Structure 1
Amino acid sequence: MTTDLERELVAAHRIVAHQHEIVTCWRSMYVPGELRFVPLPPEMEAIIRSSADYDDVVAGGAPTLLSIASGNEALELVLYRASADGAVYMLAPVRH
């Protein structure tokens, strides 16, 4: 039995798989079933929210690609805020 949250995250994953180029890049590194939305750690969310450039991710809205760069370092995250629980999730490789 799947929950509303699980169905919502699967639907968001489908959107990302068809609309975000970064997932195409990740496909060369990961098996498709390894990419899943997982809870964004609170510490990461606090750092992201502290940026003056950050706009909050709308619950139930489209998944959002967030790019962070500083010096020679860069990070790209796909974020999604679920309407089922209001939490922010990030797309990440999950190995079984």
Structure 2
Amino acid sequence: MSTKKVPMRTCVACQTTRPKKELIRVVRQVDGSLMIDRRGKVSGRGAYLCPSLACVEQALKTRRLERALEVPLNPELIAELRQIEGAPA
């Protein structure tokens, strides 16, 4: 039997490559709204973050998340990201 390939993604803050299921996905949907995609299935432009407060803060401070999504972040999303620490997507 062959082993199943594990999809890997890169955190926009620390640039480490980890399995997709270990990261938080933030999505800009077609209508321009932003949301956290917990299942990884929502269509739209996505960016991945490690589930640590250090990576979230670094991505916000350096605006990497905004550049990756090509849209400014709203305060509600920022507050939700800061509460997720330690919880995989």
For this structure pair, what is the TM-score category when the shorter chain's length is used for normalisation?
Answer: under 0.3
TM-score computed with the length of structure 1 as normaliser: 0.24
The TM-score, its normalising length taken from structure 2, stands at 0.25
More strand by share: 1
Which structure's residues are more often helix, by fraction? 1
